[in-house]
Amino acid sequence: MATNIYFLNSFDTCVDDHLAGQVSVHPGQRLLEGPHRVVVRADVKKVIEQGKVTLLCGGGSGHEPAFAGYVGEGLLSASVSGPVFTSPPPMSISAAINAICTPESKGGCLLLLLNYTGDRLNFGLSLENCRSQWPKVSLDSVIIGEDCASTSNTRSAGRRGLCGSILVMKIAGAMAEEGRSLAEITTVCRDVLKCICTIGLSLSGCTVPGVGPLFSLEAGEMELGLGLHGEAGVKRLKFSSAKDAVTVMLDHMFNPDNCNGFRARSGEEVACIINNLGGLTTIELNTIAKETIKYLDAPTTAPSWPRSYLPVGTTDRHTPTTVNVQTNTFTEKPKMTNTSAVKHVARHELLKRVCESLLKNEEYLNQLDTVCGDGDCGSTLARGAQAVIERLNTVQQCHLAVDNWTNLAEDLAEIAKNCMGGTSGAIYCLFFTAAARELEQQSSDVTGAGWCKALGAGLETIQRYSGANPGDRTMVDPLHSAYEMFGKTLKEKDLVSSFRLAVEAAESGAEATKSMSAQAGRASYVSSELLDRPDPGAVGVALWLRAILDNL
């Protein structure tokens, strides 16, 4: 697949290079030490000592200057970035919270996150973990969702977060700087969200470094309602002029039949943000501004020149050192014992083959994800698979608990949480954690019924936290099909035969998603006319289940 060329050192390090450059130019910001991609205010300790509320926002990279560009006095205390269009892992989010909040913090900490499943899951896991460790510290979150692309009132993932998040961050930052309480800030943010409405429009598909365009448009076409990650929108129209394009957007936003539309009354004052979504030149942006608002209320004399954000008392720029914060990292297991060596070798080889299957299908899954998601489903699973292979190492020096199914599931959950990132990382972490709890109730030699219970526990946990149900066009569909078939046939057939039928049911369930209406995840925002291929997450489940069967 042809991809664009960028002024980057490598696709893998582009986010780290970007953040290193960010803090070099703006020494009022500091980069957290370690693999966390966290930027904090240089004076954050002073903010904590003053008893003020600290603010954290973050998400996948690729939306610059969000979110690191908004770290500073009167705005965010810290930002946390994931890979391009991929939610940061809980480990990094927890590190960011630790950097701006302590067990003695009087003001507390507010997490601002955009309404994307991966962010909700990963920030939620981190928030709950901190709450359990710091029961006396005030912690809360506000989920930002304000786009009005979807006009449906059916169950879905809800309104996405777009450039309206900037207003929420600015208001929250100003209130925190004033010394307002966490409860006050949270209440105002939620009230503000009821008054915000946004819509996206594009003349071309978004490109991800190393992947390529997520969708394509014919010459003269424009896409209405695309998402922050370049997901295809709700409608394609012919483009004629900037004026007509603005009319299309405003008509959609103010349409009285749009249940998510704007409800401003005559005479009310309205603030307007025009955001380029990373793709417009200044000439185009100013043309859109001209057609959107003929006369701007706020006075200005000239375009602003970018300036460095410097700490108080500093007049010159120097590249700052990193900030060190104690964080929990992946703990390696000791190498395997020699007991039951043959069984261990078989498990070791099985895991390796399953991971190799996911690596082999990385590009295929990415291609499936270009229309319904952000084109990185295969890469996300591949990151997890590669991390497993690295920890498998050799039979003699393995760093995974291959000798114990419960501990192995816990290790896989840690890898999913800390190495995969994004929605998939959080979901697989929940899946393996729930499976581990169920396997812990079994003997060392797990029966077919025990495996079925573990699969069911993982499935139930995914449904509970993600809100996805069978038929919603997600990875839940093949998992549910496999679980149902596995449980139904175990009483009549041996373990391998029953599992074979379960895998075939999962493959059929994954294939069936191509004709389903998406009700969860990013695909729920995409026009059903474009969803003519199976869901990539569902196909990924079918692939690793098939790999397990083929290598038993």
Compute CA 519 distance to the chain's CA centroid, rounded to the nearest angstrom: 18
Pairing state between β 109-114 and 54-61: parallel
Q: Which residue has the tokens 């209130």?
A: 175
Q: Are 510 and 474 in contact (CB under 8 A)?
A: no
Compute CA 387 distance to the chain's CA centroid, rounded to the nearest angstrom: 19
Pairing state between β 29-31 and 54-61: unpaired
SS (H, E, C) 337-378: CCCCHHHHHHHHHHHHHHHHHHHHCHHHHHHHHHHHCCCCHH
Q: Residue 110 belongs to what H/E stretch?
A: strand 109-114
Structure tokens at 461: 């946990």
Q: Are 549 and 507 in contact (CB under 8 A)?
A: no
- Residue among 549, 437, 454 nearest 495 (CA): 549
Q: Which residues pair with 114 in a beta bridge?
A: 144
Structure tokens at 42: 């240089």
SS (H, E, C) 479-529: HHHHHHHHHHHCCCCCHHHHHHHHHHHHHHHHHHHHHCCCCCCHHHHCCHH
314-318 long-range contacts (CB < 8 A, ≥24 apart) are 314/27, 314/28, 317/25, 317/27, 318/27
CB atoms within 10 A of CB 111: 24
Residue 229 appears among annotated catalytic residues? yes
Q: Residue 250 belongs to what H/E stretch?
A: helix 242-254
3-class secondary-structure state, position 17: helix
Measured distance CA(102)–CA(45) in Å, rounded: 10
Compute CA 412 distance to the chain's CA centroid, rounded to the nearest angstrom: 19
From residue 58, give the alpha-carbon distance in Å to each of 177, 306, 411: 20, 22, 26
Q: How far is the first Cα of the chain from the last one, in angstroms, to the nearest whole number? A: 34
Q: Which of 36, 63, 229, 252 is catalytic?
A: 229
Give residue 213's region: left, alpha or beta (phi > 0; psi -120 to 50). Answer: beta
Pairing state between β 207-208 and 212-213: antiparallel
Handedness of CA 538, 543, 546, 552 (dihedral sign): negative
Structure tokens at 202: 């594009």
Measured distance CA(172)–CA(445) in Å, rounded: 54
Measured distance CA(355)–CA(382) in Å, rounded: 8
Measured distance CA(284)–CA(437) in Å, rounded: 55
Catalytic machinery residues: 229
